[in-house]
Chains A and B, each alone.
Chain A
Amino acid sequence: MEWSLATFHASAFVLAIVFFLYSRDALGSALGGLNTLVGLGLFVALWGTTYLTTCRALRGLDLLREGDHLLFARRAFRWGAANGMAFLGVLGVVLIASAVFVSPTVLLPVLFVAPFALVISAVVGAVVGAVFSAIDLALLAVARAALDVR
């Protein structure tokens, strides 16, 4: 359950961004500045942080039962924020590690920007988490109807 939900969230999130950027002809320039291996690594990182936070959001809950849905939505909001911050942390480490060899002075502005970036990533993560929890619960209702036959 955690595995399928986490992969659904990470894949759908990234594909939706690709769809949005490509339909506005902004994807080529976005991908042009990204090393292929780093891009693959960042997707794996997002997949990993989403899996870990989804496991925490579902811990002790049984999503297949009716009673836990409200608690799941609240936890999705909270752990979505944690996921946003965790992914930003990974992204920050990669960017700093690649920039610090070129120009060590980059660390000072990074330290200044980091707290603001963390807050923004938490807000974005929480909103995305809340949206996905609503989608998950709607799709769970579809799943119930799909095999609800005698």
Chain B
Amino acid sequence: MPLDAHALHLAIRWLHVAAMATAFGGALTVFALSARTRNAALDAALVEVALRYEFMFWLAAGVLAMTGIGNLAAFGTGLPLSRTDWGMTFVLKLGFVLGLIVLSLPRTLAIARLHRSASRPLTEALQSRLRAMYGGTGAAFAVALGLAVWLAHG
């Protein structure tokens, strides 16, 4: 039985949105957890949650890249040119997403280092850096989401 192209593209879009929700929602969750007053046990739990989020983040990033290209394939040869309004916004979004991915690797490596070091409870300065990292990630996803909504409906 031939595969329905419409159903396939719908499934790819659904997967794209689900991956975005995972990465965006996870960043906000870790940010919210890092904003609480803590003790050694809560700090250890926060670092564990952040470490698990990093695994999910990279899974979501791979799925977003893969399904994002699948979404573009749905345009076929009707893909708008780069000098149109849509095209310029898309170039902006693509560059922004590339920057987000590049700047996310230091965050992941920093959490891996923090997980290895046994210093709990976290110092106020470390907590502040964690809040900044996950708050920044959440804010970056909000911008990417805004650009994606504009591209889809603008």
Query: Residues of A at under 8 Å CB distance from B?
Result: 1, 3-5, 7-8, 10-12, 14-16, 18-19, 22-25, 27-29, 31-32, 34, 36-37, 39-40, 43-44, 47, 63-64, 135-136, 139-140, 142-144, 146-147, 149-150
Contacts and interface: CB of A to CB of B under 8 A. Distances in A.
A37 B74 CA distance: 11
B39 interface: no
A8 B100 CA distance: 11
A10 B98 contact: no
Given A16-B98, A39-B69, A150-B123, A143 B62 contact: no
Interface stretch (B28-36, B76-84, B137-145): B76-84
A43 B101 CA distance: 17
Interface in B62-118: 62, 64-67, 69-70, 72-79, 81-82, 87, 90-91, 94-95, 97-98, 101-102, 104-110, 112-114, 116
- By size class, the interface of chain B is 35 or more
Chain B interface mostly: helix
A32 B107 CA distance: 37
B129 interface: yes
B109 A143 contact: yes
Interface of B: 3, 5, 8-9, 12, 54-55, 58-59, 61-62, 64-67, 69-70, 72-79, 81-82, 87, 90-91, 94-95, 97-98, 101-102, 104-110, 112-114, 116, 123, 125-126, 129, 133
